[in-house]
Chains A and B, each alone.
Chain A
Amino acid sequence: MTKQSLPILLSLCAVGSVAMMVLSRPVDPISTETVVQEASREADLKSTAEQYAALPFDKIYQLPAGPRGLEFTKKTQSLKGAKVRLDGFMVKHFHEDAGVFLFAGVPAMHNQVEYILAESLPTSLVHVLLPEIPGRTPSWIPQRITVLGTLELGMRQEIDGRLSHVRVIADHIADTKTLEAIELRRPVALQRDRMKSGVRTVFRSSQGDSPQTNTPTNHTASSSR
């Protein structure tokens, strides 16, 4: 199989899978099996995962929080820039950036239409950055997943107004139980359960610039953004 034909094949698989889902399951939820089926058929990531240091969500910040902000644990600080593995759940939410999803240690949702950025999300929230594929965004799935990637620390302005303080530049996304790779990015039009945005706003900084979105061209240079 050529590299050029792979995206086409994946798209056909995705469309076929979603069509099957639509026919057999007219009402949500999305099944774990379906999502895994449409993932790229890489070899399982068990041996790859061993090269990544585990970073549990409850070890990211010192607990409990201090009165003047959060503080990273020594473990987190020591893993800055390193390959890390986090097991958790995609937050069910809307994100302006097609290459980003929020990742938490427990199942969680945020209704941006109702609350904008007034949130009840876990404090140890991680922004996961994926190379963007035009027309596709990370599609929420209800299962526990594993993110393997490079840990970035430090404040970064996201395009939707959030500040991220912990990011993982994802190399792989996998089902936690099997460590089979999962392709989360699906056509927006086929994401029937996709959350809606809140008040549509345009980011303009005081310097007149804007945060970069997570396009493939700036993906590898993420730490410099």
Chain B
Amino acid sequence: MKPNLLLALTLASASLAGSALAAPTVTRLNPPSALFTSGDATPPYISRFLPDQRFDLQATIQADAGQTITGAVFKVNGNAVAGAVTVTALGSDRFSVALRAYSTNIAGVKTLTVEAAQSGGTTATAQGNFEIVPLSRSRLTGVRKAKNIIYLIGDGMGIAHRTAARIVAKGVSQGKAISPLAMDTMPHTALLMTSSLNSIITDSAPGAACYSTGNKSNNNQQGVFPDDTTATLPENKWDNPRVEHMGTYLARKQGKALGIVSTADIEDATPASFGVHTQDRGAGTGICDMYLDEAVAKSNLRVLMGGGRKWFLPSTTAGSGRVASSTASGADYVLPADVATAWGVPAGTVDPNRDLIADFQTAGFTYTPDATSLAAVPGTTTKLLGLYNNGNMDVAMDKIAERRGGAAVGTVTTFPDQPMLDEMTEKALQVLNNNNKGFVLMIEAAHIDKQAHNMDTERWVLDTLEFDRAVAKCLAFAQANPDTLVIVTADHECAGINIIGGSSVTNATLVDRANDLGTDGVQGVITGSGAAPDGAAKLRDGVVGVYESAGFPQYSIQPDGYPVTMDTDYKMLIGYAGNGNRYEDWLTNPTPNVNPATGRDLAGDYYIAGQVSGSSAVHTASDIPLSAAGRGASLFHGVMENTDVFFHAMRAALIGAP
């Protein structure tokens, strides 16, 4: 019998039996396990932790009608876990029971049992399991520990994003890359599987949080496991079962510092996945408050740089985004008392008028609002806050255009002096290196993903180049500081990108065809079958050169490291397998973030119907590449779960590696 069918029959039988007996039932047990959900006690174990890494135990109980759950006991390998168990009513005779901040030093696979008592004397019981991963010192004599761990995350960066950036920046001649990207020079390579706890397609929250916690979580969630309180409790965004972050663990164990750098709004999913615990990646007010209230205190957060200034301004200040709620999008945080007590963190409050920049400064942070002030940060600085845009920072192409004296598009007019990611990286390394116990630094190139969603080829290519320049800074740092592990990877692939060929015409011809309204004389018109035949003839059949017709596209690179133009003759052409609807003319879009289905490239009438609804491309489940260099890099090889990256990095930091 197929396992799934057997499971379904088993569950159906249990359900019928449950109806007849009307016993209370455990409907969720955290940490998640295959033993609880499907009765499978064999590997792979869904939840894995380090010795002494803290995490919450939680269960949801469906009580009998009119009954209540009066208490619960959690047992690990049959032994009751000490500590307070909080019982919370969820409505509809459902209850959550939780024991916070559990940890154990003893490695091995553990059976987790919950026994919940119902009024009237009946009991609900269920079992799951988790693994405490051993950190054996055997066969590792003479190795050194990684003092510093640097994660460089190209958000959404799959293999093709890297290849495309290499073709543009380095070129290919007679079949060989003329020179490699910085990330190509890293000696160890792996492929990562990226599925989240609830989908084969992850979003950036669990896709990044796995590197900081070692565990999978649901989409939109970071540093937590899913629970069932979402619709019922005011604190629902903030009460999920937590898993201790790498930064917190290493600050506690080794006194390391934490740095978080991103070109996104700093509350966005990837940066927050390294310092915050919430089920809502959009809770910007609370996420940014939590950086100061928790991450500075518990993770020794010393560098925070990116966009998102709106969350740091009092709500009465124009441009502020601080929300007077703990439940809405952009919410502030308020923790349940058991979470605050057990984890030793502030409970938080809804404080829309908080001046978070001033509070960071009071905590000893130097605040830099632009590239000029960032460059002037002295070498003795030990804590650095940089907020360079109200929302996401502008993309590399638009920042570079402004530096070259070109047109200011995006929000460059409002924020004309934004640093490049490599400049932010250099300062982050300088500040963090002042902590003699080492550091964990996460650097994210956010717009590789965002511009891939927009199917804006030229912008994500340049953001990949900007990212590679940050990689080069880190590799240089690792060379000067050999006890540094550098990991370059992504959180997922975005847009199903690949290099499909090269243009078979000059740019001038391409411009003519893109502006030619065609036989109908009208822009953006498509037929009843969803096609635009004159556009396809002009801009697909007459342009897309495949195989040997693709040739070797050549781009001229300026001293700043970026192409003179992306609109070169016989340019590289990109296809999108995860595409939304779009018009395409292969030319650089003059402005960013314009709807590809209706707002750009219309004149040429080349319409490409999406394979997903809407006009935005989507993440894919493709494996993503990982490159590693420095202390412990040899641990990374083969095809791995993304959660394994955490354990390898921690192994390098805690017991050492070649």
Contact = CB atoms under 8 A, between A and B. Distances in A.
Nearest to B317: A69
Residue with the greatest number of chain A CB neighbours at <10 A, chosen from B203, B417, B595: B595
Contact of A204 (B328, B415, B417, B528): B328
B327 A201 contact: yes
Given A69-B319, A70-B318, A109 B593 contact: yes
A201 B616 contact: no
Nearest to A207: B324
A108 B594 contact: yes
B313 A28 contact: no
B346 interface: no
A63 B390 CA distance: 13
Contacts of B599: 92, 107, 109, 142
Contacts of A44: none
Nearest to A64: B416
B415 A64 contact: yes
B282 A198 contact: yes
Contact of A72 (B318, B323, B391): B318
Interface stretch (A113-121, A169-177, A180-188): A113-121
A118 B320 contact: no
Contacts of A203: 325, 327-328
Interface stretch (B57-65, B133-141, B261-269): B261-269
A201 B331 contact: yes
Contact of A119 (B316, B317, B392): B392
A216 interface: no
B614 A196 contact: yes
Interface residues of A, number: 58
B280 interface: yes
B397 to A, nearest CB: 13
Nearest to B494: A114
B411 interface: yes
A68 B313 contact: yes
Interface stretch (A8-16, A79-87, A129-137, A157-165): A157-165
Contacts of B320: 69, 155, 163, 165
Nearest to B284: A117
A7 interface: no
A165 B598 CA distance: 29
Interface string B298-334: 0000000000110001011111111111111111000
Contacts of B533: none
A27 interface: yes
Interface string B602-641: 1000010100001110000000000000000000000000
Nearest to B451: A120
A107 B597 CA distance: 13
A107 B591 contact: yes
B255 interface: no
A206 B413 contact: no
B336 interface: no
A67 B369 contact: yes
Given A27-B609, A65-B415, A204 B329 contact: no
A107 B320 CA distance: 22
A66 B284 CA distance: 21
Nearest to A69: B317
A202 interface: yes
B486 interface: no
B530 A161 contact: no
A61 B318 contact: yes
Contacts of B598: 28-30, 92, 142, 193
A27 B592 contact: no
A26 B527 CA distance: 8
A92 B409 CA distance: 18
B613 to A, nearest CB: 9
A24 B530 CA distance: 10
Interface in A67-121: 67-72, 92, 106-111, 113-121
B400 interface: no
Given A116-B330, A117-B330, A201-B329, A155 B414 contact: no
B350 A71 contact: no
Contacts of A160: 328-329
A1 interface: no
Contact of A116 (B281, B319, B609): B281
A69 B616 CA distance: 31
A111 B616 contact: yes
Given A111-B616, A119-B265, A204 B315 contact: no
Nearest to B529: A26
Contact of B282 (A26, A117, A124): A117
User: What 4 A-B pairs come out closest when comparing CB atoms?
Assistant: A116-B282, A161-B329, A67-B369, A29-B598
Interface of B: 203, 220, 234, 264-265, 267-269, 280-282, 284, 308-309, 313, 315-331, 349-350, 357, 367, 369-370, 390-392, 394, 409-411, 413-417, 450, 453, 524, 526, 528-530, 581, 591-595, 597-600, 602, 607, 609, 614-616
10 contacts: A27-B609, A61-B318, A68-B317, A106-B591, A119-B391, A120-B592, A161-B325, A199-B329, A201-B328, A206-B325
